[in-house]
Amino acid sequence: MLNIFSILIGLVALVLAIPALIPFVSLMNWIVFPIALVGFVVGLLSSKTSGRNLNLIILIVSGLRLFLTGGLI
């Protein structure tokens, strides 16, 4: 059950992360990162790994985007 909840959180974060890759909309990554972090923690509590892995990929992409741009653009 926690894995399904983690996947749902990850899908919400993914839908928000896709437009956040556009250069002037990247401030949305500040919203996506905590959502994916919550999904990752929920995925850690689950016995399966698919939800955790989905949120981990979103965390890496949005965190890298924030790191490379200094968190602004």
Question: Chain centroid to CA 54: how far?
Answer: 8
pLDDT tier, 72 (very low <50, low <70, confident <90, very high otherwise): low
Query: Structure pTM?
Result: 0.89
Predicted pLDDT at 56: 96
Domain chopping of the chain, boundaries:
1-48+67-73
Cβ proximity of 31 and 12 under 8 Å: no
d(CA 31, CA 56): 15
pLDDT tens figures, 13-52: 999 999 988 888 878 889 999 999 999 999 999 999 999 9
pLDDT tier, 63 (very low <50, low <70, confident <90, very high otherwise): very high
